[in-house]
Amino acid sequence: MIKTRGLKKSFGKVPALRGLDINVQEGSIYGFVGQNGAGKTTTLRILAGLLLHDEGEVEVAGYNVVQNPRAVRESVGYMPDFFGVYDDLRVGEYLLFYAAAYGIRGITACNLRDELLELVGLSDKRDSFVDALSRGMQQRLCLARSLVHNPQVLLLDEPASGLDPLARIEMRNILRELGTRGKTIVISSHILPELADLCTHVGMITDGRLVYEGLLAQMAAGTESQHIILRCCSGAVQAKVVVENWPGAELVRESGEEMEIRLSGSAGEAAALLKEVIMAGAAVNHFAKAEKTLEDAYVQMAKEVN
Amino acid sequence: MGFWGSSGRGLANGLLPLLGKEMRGRSRNWRFPLALSLYLAFLSGVIMFFLSLIYRMGMVSSQTGFLFYGIIVFGLVLLLAFITATVSATAISGERDRRTYDLLLATTASPTGIVLGKWLASVIYLLFLVVAALPLLAVVYLYGGIPLVALGTAMALCILTGLGYGALGLAYSAVLKRSQAAIIFSLVTVFGLIFVTLVAGGIGAASHGQPGPVPQVVPVQAEHPGWYIYLSPLSAIPAAVPGGLRPVPIMGELVSTLNRLVSAGLTQGGLWVGMDTTMVVAEGFTGWPSWTKFALFQGVLTVVCLLIATLAVNPLPPWRARKIRRRKAEPYC
């Protein structure tokens, strides 16, 4: 559904994208992760037809962004990371305005407005002024705006930034619902646990280049290190000394008698570490491999790249 | 859908919603009624001042109505020039400031539709102001009145001024990132077009004639009026004032004073050149009435500025897009 090849973009002498190749499957929810300044927003803006790249090829929904920008805009719903609202419009009017900007008018637009407000849970706010909405509601309204022309592709730049936990859950549920309706969704976000809950595919960008792309499960399993949770009844101090001196082991977290260890190498390496901890006099009552999160995989991969 | 159908849709998708939104927004905003009230209060103040001046000096004559009308049109044109430029200078940069610009560009509204929608919204604002000033112009009917043709010409002059300077403000708004910068550049340019062109015209006229006293009678047409004085709406005002040869006194005094300041002596004719519609006997462009010359320049200014704004708004400028289409993607290693 989305393909880029050799995508390059510079702002003055500062390169933002250095030959980005991404491939987003139709119907997938694609998490686009990367640190600040990695080029996520630049990529999304290029895909939405809001920014012209310097080199490379970009295809969205089968249309070339440069050759057929109008068709691309008809196929794409874009939600930027920072956006404003027209404070002199009501919620319903706001959606009707954007519907008209996509050529949808009259009764069709009104029906669409009601349907979208229902989807994002703002039906009761239809006659409220947009600037009277909370940040979370404005985010949901902006999402409704990006759906107003029923696009095949949604490009969402940090859709959950600045939201409280409840609003995040609401947003996640809406996105999940859109995923079930067959939309192809690209989400750029820093909140990795959320992406892990939502995404089917992940693309990781560092310094303008894609360093990983594939299924989320593969990314989490694909890194070389493993996470182990170690809990002791007694002798936690001795266990800690062993872990700290063990080659390839890193103490990630420590709380009371429990430690989380990042360990490079195979399962045999973990068994050897356990044996050494017990030999040091620690009474171990839990030693198990922790399920690796997207965040772990991301941190690990970022370290490997750097 | 063909090129024209697609372009027409893009135009309509920009023009119609933007026009509707701007109108709705202005009708709800407290700034519009406030600005309208201040504008009318200022015009009324000017009229009251001149009325009291005329009565105190005992200047009431058969020409008072015309004189008065000239003053009102002069003030109206100046006000509209600066107001329209200021309003339109925030039209596109305001979208950037509000962070709604990207959302607008991501729609299927074409850059031309967006620019025309914003421009027409400013123009409709201008029409409001012109219509609102009509009751004030009725004061001249206390002193004999003016022909309807002259009134129509004055309205056309106001609208032409607003259209051109509105487009100018819009171009600055599209090219410059910040509203404040766009407003400052627009106002400075409008000031230059209105006044500096006349001063330059005065200097130019002075260099073609002999120094002499300020003409006390009907001014004489000089040989080479600079074309650029027709960029100023003030050059077209005499066409809107009945009485043919009679230049607007206030403006004449102002310009003559300016001329005296910048040149060693005032030439015969001086800056009366170009303001006068009936004295011109030359053929070709120089033979055109001053208001048609102003209309021509204003039309050119409008088209050029709207073109610049459209190109500046387009996120995929055609010349750069063509360059990319020609360039083949290099394989990424």
pLDDT digits over B193-220, tens only? 998 888 887 777 666 655 455 454 444 4
Q: What angle do CA A204, A207, A210 make, to 5 degrees?
A: 35
B12 touches chain A (CB under 8 A): yes
CA distance B298 to B184: 21
B166 touches chain A (CB under 8 A): no
Whether A143 and A79 have beta carbons less than 8 Å apart is answered as: yes
Mean pLDDT lowest among A294-298, B87-91, B109-113: A294-298
B154, β-bridge pairs: none
B330 touches chain A (CB under 8 A): yes
DSSP-derived 3-state class of residue B157: helix
B211, β-bridge pairs: B267
Give the list of residues 6+ apart from residue B292 with CB closer than 8 angstroms, or none.
none
* Tokens linked to B306: 């709207």
Whether A116 and A144 have beta carbons less than 8 Å apart is answered as: yes
Q: Say how many C-beta atoms besides its own lie within 10 A of residue B44's C-beta.
A: 14
Whether B266 and B206 have beta carbons less than 8 Å apart is answered as: yes
Dump strand ranges (E) for A21-166.
23-24, 29-33, 55-60, 63-64, 76-79, 153-157
pLDDT at B272: 40
Contacts of B319 in chain A (CB under 8 A): none
pLDDT at B138: 81
Which residue type sits at B292?
Answer: T
pLDDT in 10s for each residue of chain A, 306 residues: 899 998 889 998 888 898 889 999 888 999 988 888 888 999 999 999 999 888 888 999 888 888 888 889 999 999 998 888 888 889 999 999 999 999 998 899 999 999 999 988 889 999 999 988 888 889 889 999 999 999 999 999 988 877 788 888 888 888 888 888 888 999 998 777 777 778 888 888 888 888 888 877 666 665 556 778 888 888 888 888 888 888 888 887 888 788 888 887 777 888 888 888 888 888 888 888 776 666 667 776 766 666
Whether B187 and B273 have beta carbons less than 8 Å apart is answered as: no
The verdict on a CB contact (< 8 Å) between B20 and A100 is: yes
DSSP-derived 3-state class of residue A286: strand
pLDDT at B51: 80
The verdict on a CB contact (< 8 Å) between B315 and A50 is: yes
Q: Say how many C-beta atoms besides its own lie within 10 A of residue A221's C-beta.
A: 11
Give the list of residues 6+ apart from residue A157 with CB closer than 8 angstroms, or none.
A40, A41, A44, A78, A79, A80, A81, A188
Confidence grade of residue B245 (pLDDT, cut at 50, 70, 90): very low
Asked if the model's pLDDT at residue B280 lies above 50, the reply is no
* Tokens linked to B331: 């394989």
pTM of the predicted protein model: 0.78
Distance of CA A203 to the CA centre of its chain: 9
The verdict on a CB contact (< 8 Å) between B106 and A73 is: yes
The verdict on a CB contact (< 8 Å) between B317 and A52 is: yes
The minimum CA-CA distance between B174 and chain A, rounded to whole Å, is 15
The verdict on a CB contact (< 8 Å) between B316 and A78 is: no
pLDDT at A43: 93
Q: Which residue of A has its CA nearest to B21?
A: A97
pLDDT at B243: 59
More confident of the two residues A44 and B29: A44
The minimum CA-CA distance between B98 and chain A, rounded to whole Å, is 5
Whether B15 and B115 have beta carbons less than 8 Å apart is answered as: no
The minimum CA-CA distance between B114 and chain A, rounded to whole Å, is 10
Asked if the model's pLDDT at residue B277 lies above 50, the reply is no
pLDDT at B247: 45
Average pLDDT of the residues in B179-191: 94
For B161-191, b/e burial (b = at least 16 CB within 10 A) is: bbbbbbbbbbbbbbbbeebeebbebbbebbe
CA distance B23 to B265: 51
For A274-301, b/e burial (b = at least 16 CB within 10 A) is: beebbeeebebeebeeeebebebbbbbb
